[in-house]
Structure 1
Amino acid sequence: MTGIEDPLTPGDWRQRWRLRRIASWLTRIDRHGALAEAGHRRGELEQQLRRAYEEAIELRSWGRLAEQASDQVRAALAAYAQAMRRIGKGTGIKAGRYREDARVAADRAKAALPCWIMPHYRVSESLPPELGLFDLVIVDEASQSTVAALPALLRAKQVLIVGDDRQVTPDAGFRPEARMNELAQRHLSGQVQDYRSVLREEKSLYDLGTVVFAGGAIMLKEHFRCVAPIIEYSKAQFYSHQLVPLRLPSASQRLDPPLIDILVEDGVRRGKTNPAEVDCIVEEIGRIVADPAMAGRSIGVTTLLGHEQAAALFAAIERTHGVDTMLAHDIRIGEPSAFQGDERDIMFVSMVADRGSSALSGAAYDQRFNVAASRARDRMILVRSVEPEDLKPADQLRRALIDHFRAPFATDPAVTEAARDRCESGYEREMFDLLVQRGYRVDTQVRVGNSRIDMVVEGADDRRLAIECDGDMWHGADRWPDDMARQRMLERAGWTIWRCFASRFVRDRDAAMADLVATLTARDIYPVAHGQDRPTTRHTEHRRWRPGGSEPIEAPEAEHVPYAHLVPMDAF
């Protein structure tokens, strides 16, 4: 019969037959289940290996201690602990005798303890003067240690020096240059010529290490403390964009915006203090401690000029808010050197300067600014009394810091770009749509260090899952080693990854989505209620402050950036 198609033998039966054969072949060779099982097994084995390393180190340490800890050794350890308690501040009339008691006791117990931890000034008074006493000596924060730490190195067979010469180093203060030259001439004239300059009292142990072990330095580039908009200043200004920020805060940790710039109107510097900036910071701290959402947030306050401002801030904060509040929020106030090796959730930075201030330049101020601007984990608040145009042309440090608060990243992405528009393929957009239709809160192209995560699904209580949508063309077998290395980096930063190849998604979308939803459910990540989507955020908030209150700057409508852009889209 003409015009009627037999349903058993349709006109395109050859095409259908071909597609069915291809589908059957793909089903037959599909190893998604085996791949998922292998990935799960890899995770289990890595966890077991990690625990095995930890247990082996612990058991071997305790085992060695048990082997060596005879009654005499135990008595020596008790005597050592007693002598160290009696030394106290080391200023008593009997301190010398107690130091000798500690050295004698440590000499008897040295073979029993696999690891000794102490500040370098305790080394000589606590340990016997024996060359090569330890297999390895590690000196942390070596850029703050002077050559007074050399006795620790003399007790080492191998040395690991950890430090950063771009952070605060020893300061000779107001000691006359002539006096320092005289001491160097008297005590260092017999030293190796290349080492003399770095053995001076104003040099650090790290400086000495860079000369003695020239060419042996390894730069640790991964940065876990600050969110990217905060660390970007130091990254660009002092580290030639070599740092790789890896911290992406969870929902409860995140403070939006991470940067707050407060201009104190009519702020005037008086000597090395700025009373108006002190009042502003005291008032801002009052707002923080009164906010229940800020309970438990730690606070730090530092200054970019002199210790006098830090002293004024400490007195005002203690007088206004009291010791209990300072303890509850772990409030610390001091110069940048007081925060080296430390951090706080929120950091206030008082610039002190006004329009008449002299320009700051030189390595010492570079180090001071670097430390001050890299101690905040989630929010940095700059309090200043000067506009950039009022600074002297040579005052590049202050100008660069103010400019950072205006535009943290040299090339910001289109900040109003929708999450769906950031998807890089039709496959990603379809996955995004299916998740959003189910009510999940999804962000796309979230940068973590040098990597971007295709999608991040967030749930309550800081739970989140990273989703990688692997296109078969771009993620073939030749790319798997790189993909796994990248995945391990993300896992070290605390991420859980769910992966899906485009071929699987196209062939069996329902099964892929069921697997994803099951993974989300297993991690207690559920769809959110309508209207609870993530609020938009900005990198920086600008405010003006005057005695009696503060108010926002009158400015055009603020640019809002999605959560993904808390980390810049430019390649580091």
Structure 2
Amino acid sequence: ATILGDLVVSAKGRWRRLAADSEALLRDAARLLERVGPARVEIPHDIGEDRLRADVERRLRHFEDGGWKGISFLAPRVVRETRYIVKRCRVDGQKPHTIEHLRRVRDFQDLQSKMRELRQLWGRLSVESSDFGQACRRAQELADELKELLGFFDSTLAGAIGAILGPKRTTVVSASERHDWLKAIDALLASREARDAKRQLERLLETVRGSQTGPRAHPCLHAMEMAVEARDVAAWHSAWQERERVREDKQRLARYDRLLERLDASCPGLADLLRSTAGDPEWHQRIRTIHEAWAWSSARAWLHRVSDASAYKERVQDFHGLQQKIEKATEQLVSLRAWQAFFDRLDDKTVQSLTAWTRAVDRIGKGTGKHAHRHRRSARKYLMDCVPRIPAWVMPLHKLWDSVDAVPGLFDTVIVDEASQASVDALALLLLARRIIVVGDDKQNSPETVGLLEDDIARLAREHLSQFRFRDEFRPDTSLFDHAERAFGSLITLREHFRCVPEIIRFSNDLCYRDAPLIPLRQAPPNRLPPLRSQFVEKGACEGDGQRIRNRAEAEALVRVIESLVADQAYEGKSMGVIALQGHAQAELIETLLAQRLDPKTIEERRLRCGEPATFQGDQRDIMFLSLVIAPNVHYRALTRLPDQRRFNVAMSRARDQVWLFHSVRLHDLGPADLRRRLVAFFDSPQRVALETLSENLDHLERQARAPRQRGNHPEPYESWFEVDVALELL
């Protein structure tokens, strides 16, 4: 009552000091309790507390400083004077010989002192107990209660209560007065709860009445309204149960509709059948055989699916799509692993050299400056430092000469692609490589000696290559592939062809690869485009001559077709290319017309490019357009030479899916040995050409079969003479 009375009149100073002092003492007591731990300490009561505390401290300090214990009367003075501590004190029943035991005796004395101070602070409220832990907990509870009480009287709530009670606030000190106040508060709260309940009942009544709009309101709602007005609990309970039953029926109906939707998704038409025949007693029997009916329906659907002719085409399309995804994923995986291996090999020195090389190349610029040769030499030096760390270099020949020094065996392996186009200057690659792989096709474009006299070539060979055995072969029109074939001889023929569909590559097989025809591995998808398309330009006429000859009507017709195909859905996403089979002026004209009629974005997306056969060697497009160029109004020679065959071979083997031929001459306008005639005939009647080719191949195979046979000398692509006999029997 004293505490409450002081706090009510805001006399808090005394109790705040009590709380602060208690908190400090409890904090020290808790620390000492933790240090004493569960140890049981006994000290004599007939020795003064101060003396005992001082002697324990003296003895402890002596031993902590490394003092000697001594023997009997030879012991140090402090040991002799405090020897009674060992005789009279006990720690867990043992004499305190060790430093740890002396510390516990000291801490126990300090704990006794702190507990005595706590008992003095709290007086009769404290707990008299020999168990210091229990006494500390009781003192902590008292301190927490006091702190909570002080916190309450410091809050705005206590201020509000004081403002409400006014002069009567001191009455709460009396227990009876507090009881009367609590009864009044309970009554006020009960009155408010009754008022709130009445309001809730009125809102409920309004809600029930509002739910009865229209003639379709359920009778249970009216019963609920009457029960609320009459304050009839039993009637309300009955009406509420009816309402819950209706709600459950509604939920069941909603679940029934959801099940019908799921059934309709799995078996279209079943939901409508169930709705239209709801209540039909025959469903009782049908439900018992639903599994059998479902199995029959599934079997019928499966039979319809597997017997559907379009399903096969869809599966083939799916197969091609998955195959493309696998190839793309494999390509990405190989690329990522290659880059990872590349970065694993890089070290700081290589990175620094690459950075320096980049700066040197920037200084070279166009290569025409006064000091360009010096910067080029520096760039080459930096790049030579990178050679051991960069696993693969991909570059054209002219870049190679600018990038590295002519060091013998600089690269472990050199792979030369399109070697049939590499001229005599590529022979230096044999110096740079420890091993070289030359990839090419002598049936495709090779270096040309345009503007060079044969006598000059022979004279230079005699003057500079007099000691060479094959000096006459070192000519500008011989390729690296020709030299490699002569020098090494270990020729590996790659017959698998991955680009063109079979109908397109057949022309090249008939023209250049009769002895070892290419085997087309790419098969067109079911929705394939016609592989061969030709268009005769009746009004075609040539202007110009030589390399500047061109046929505007043929170019116009070709461009119109490209315009229509770009807008055709069947050609969506297809890349395109144009090859002029004579001169370069025709390709330039077509390129100009395309730039006028197509927007740059379309040209870029379609990779639309125009040029001569050599322009596309090593490249490919989905759709290729060939312009024959010549017309009856000009005189032209027949194309029969090997370079002409190479150009026609390259031109016809660049397309993956489709080739268009635009020509202004008929078969009767062309000589019998002219390659143009062969090309036009191939487009006009590919089946006849295919049969002729098949007949020629069959005759050749029969001649080989009649010749003496030896194990292992069977013709390709057959794997045995047995396969040859079977093929002859079938054909």
Matched with 1:197 is 472
1:554 equivalent in structure 2: none
Tell me by how many angstroms 1:184 deviates.
2.9
8 Å CA contact 2:496–2:518 kept in 1: the answer is yes
The answer (yes or no) to whether the contact 1:76–1:108 under 8 Å persists in 2 is: yes
1:240-289 CA deviation, whole Å, 9 max, x = no partner? 1510001112346x21x111011110312223211111111111111112
Write the distance in 1 (CA, Å) between the matches of 2:588 and 2:667.
Answer: 26
2:553 matches 1:273: no
Deviation at 1:185, TM superposition (A): 3.1
Match of 1:230 in 2: 504
* Residue 680 (structure 2) pairs with residue 406 (structure 1): no
Paired amino acid for 1:363: L
Q: Distance in 1 between matches of 2:658 and 2:336?
A: 40
Deviation at 1:89, TM superposition (A): 4.8
* CA displacement, residues 338-368 of structure 1 (integer Å, 9 cap, x when unaligned): 0000011111100112234321121111111
Deviations 1:178-236 (A, max 9, x none): 3333333333333x222x2332222111111111112x111110001111111110011
Is 2:520 aligned against 1:245? yes
> In the superposition, relative to structure 1, how do residues 54 and 373 fare at CA in structure 2: closer, same or farther (>3 Å)?
closer
Aligned to 1:561: none
Indicate conservation of the 8 Å contact 2:418/2:618, yes or no: yes
SS in 1 for 2:686: coil
Q: Is the 8 A contact 2:408 2:433 kept in 1?
A: yes
* Contact 1:295–1:329 (Cα < 8 Å) also in 2: no
Alignment of 1:146-165 (within 5 A): 146-165=423-442
2:621–2:654 contact (8 Å) kept in structure 1: yes
Aligned pairs for 1:173-572 within 5 A: 173-190=450-467, 192-194=468-470, 196-214=471-489, 216-240=490-514, 242-251=517-526, 254-255=528-529, 257-271=530-544, 272-355=549-632, 356-395=635-674, 397-409=675-687
Cα 1:88/1:226, change in 2 over 3 Å: farther
In the alignment, the residues of structure 2 paired with residue 168 and residue 309 of structure 1 have an alpha-carbon distance, to the nearest angstrom, of 19
Residue type at the aligned position of 1:102 = A
Secondary structure (helix, strand or coil) at the match of 2:477 reads coil
Tell whether the 8 Å contact from 2:616 to 2:654 is kept in structure 1 after alignment.
yes
Residue 75, structure 1, aligned to residue 348, structure 2: no
Equivalent residues of 1:198, 1:204 under 8 A apart: no
Farther-moved stretch of structure 1 (141-150 vs 374-383)? 141-150
Map of 1:97 onto structure 2: 374
Checking the alignment, whether the CA contact within 8 Å between 2:682 and 2:689 is kept in structure 1 is: no
Aligned 8 A contact 1:121 1:148 in 2: no
The 8 Å contact of residues 458 and 472 in structure 2, kept in 1 or not, is answered as no
Contact preservation (8 Å) 1:123, 1:151: no
For the structure 1 residues 116 and 277, does the alpha-carbon distance in structure 2 shift closer, same or farther, using more than 3 Å as the test?
same
Give 1 or 2: higher helix fraction. Answer: 2
Asked which structure has the greater RCO (Cα within 8 Å, sep 6+), the reply is 1
> In structure 1, what residue type is equivalent to 2:684?
R
Contact 1:123/1:152 (<8 A) preserved: no
TM-score, normalised relative to structure 2: 0.46
Q: CA deviation at 1:130?
A: 1.1
The one of 341, 345, 358 equivalent to 1:65 is 345
Distance 1:106 1:305, change over 3 A: same
**Equivalence map 1:112-127=2 (5 Å):** 112-127=389-404
Instruction: Give the Cα–Cα distance (whole angstroms) in 2 for the partners of residues 290 and 332 of structure 1.
Output: 18
Give me the identity figure in percent.
Answer: 39
Residue 147 of structure 1: CA displacement?
1.8
CA–CA separation in structure 2 for the residues paired with 1:55 and 1:325: 29
Please tell me the residue identity of whatever aligns with 1:404: F
Paired with 1:94 and 1:326, the residues of 2 have a C-alpha distance of 40
Taking structure 1 as reference, are residues 108 and 405 closer, same or farther at Cα in structure 2, changes over 3 Å only? Answer: same
Shift in alpha-carbon separation, 1:353–1:83, aligned structure 2, 3 A: same
Q: Give CA deviations for 1:126-184 in whole Å, capped at 9, x if unaligned.
A: 11321011111111111111122223321111110000111111112222333333333
RMSD of the TM alignment (CA)? 3.0
Counterpart amino acid of residue 201 in structure 1? P
Q: Is the 8 A contact 1:229 1:409 kept in 2?
A: no
- SS state at 2:660 partner: strand
Shift in alpha-carbon separation, 1:342–1:54, aligned structure 2, 3 A? closer
Residues 232, 409 of structure 1: 8 Å contact kept: no
Q: Distance in 2 between matches of 1:220 and 1:382?
A: 28
* Structure 2 counterpart SS, 1:115: coil
Please give the alpha-carbon distance, in whole angstroms, between the structure 1 residues aligned to 2:509 and 2:522.
Answer: 14
How far apart in 1 are the matches of 2:362 and 2:613? 31
Q: Which amino acid aligns with 2:448?
A: D
SS in 1 for 2:598: helix
Which deviations, in whole Å up to 9, do the C-alpha atoms of 1:54-81 show, x marking residues without a partner?
6997499448614xx2x32221122123
Contact 2:671–2:677, Cα closer than 8 Å, also in 1: no
* Partners of 2:623 and 2:353 in 1: CA distance: 45
- Provide the C-alpha distance between the structure 2 equivalents of 1:275 and 1:171, rounded to a whole number of angstroms: 28
Partner residue, 1:437: none
Look up the match of 1:129. 406
Specify the code of the residue in structure 1 equivalent to 2:672. Answer: P
Change (3 A) 1:571 1:411: farther
Once the 2 structures are TM-superposed, how far is the Cα of residue 378 of structure 1 from its aligned partner? 0.6
Q: Which has the higher strand share?
A: 1
Q: Is the 8 A contact 1:165 1:206 kept in 2?
A: yes
Residues of 2 paired with 1:370 and 1:352: CA distance?
17
- Partners of 2:466 and 2:338 lie apart in 1 by 47
Letter in 2 for 1:368: R
Aligned CA distance change for structure 1 residues 55 and 314 (closer, same or farther; 3 Å): closer
1:87 and 1:230, CA in 2 relative to 1: closer, same or farther beyond 3 A? farther
- Classify the secondary structure of the residue corresponding to 1:261: strand
Cα distance in structure 1, aligned partners of 2:372 and 2:427: 22
Partner of 1:518: none
- Distance of 1:236 and 1:362 partners within structure 2: 16
Asked if 2 retains the 8 angstrom alpha-carbon contact of 1:349 and 1:383, the reply is: yes
CA distance in 2, matches of 1:571, 1:326: 48
User: Secondary structure at 2:584's aligned position in 1?
Assistant: helix
Name stretches of at least 5 consecutive residues in structure 2 with no aligned partner: 1-325, 692-718, 720-728
Give the alignment of 1:10-29 within 5 angstroms.
Answer: none
Distance 2:508 2:638 in 1: 19
Following superposition, the deviation at residue 399 of structure 1 comes to 1.4
Q: Is the 8 A contact 1:302 1:335 kept in 2?
A: yes
Distance in 2 (alpha carbons) for counterparts of 1:328 and 1:54: 26
Q: Structure 1 residue 412: deviation in Å?
A: 6.1
- Give deviations 1:428-450, integer Å, cap 9, x for gaps: xxxxxxxxxxxxxxxxxxxxxxx
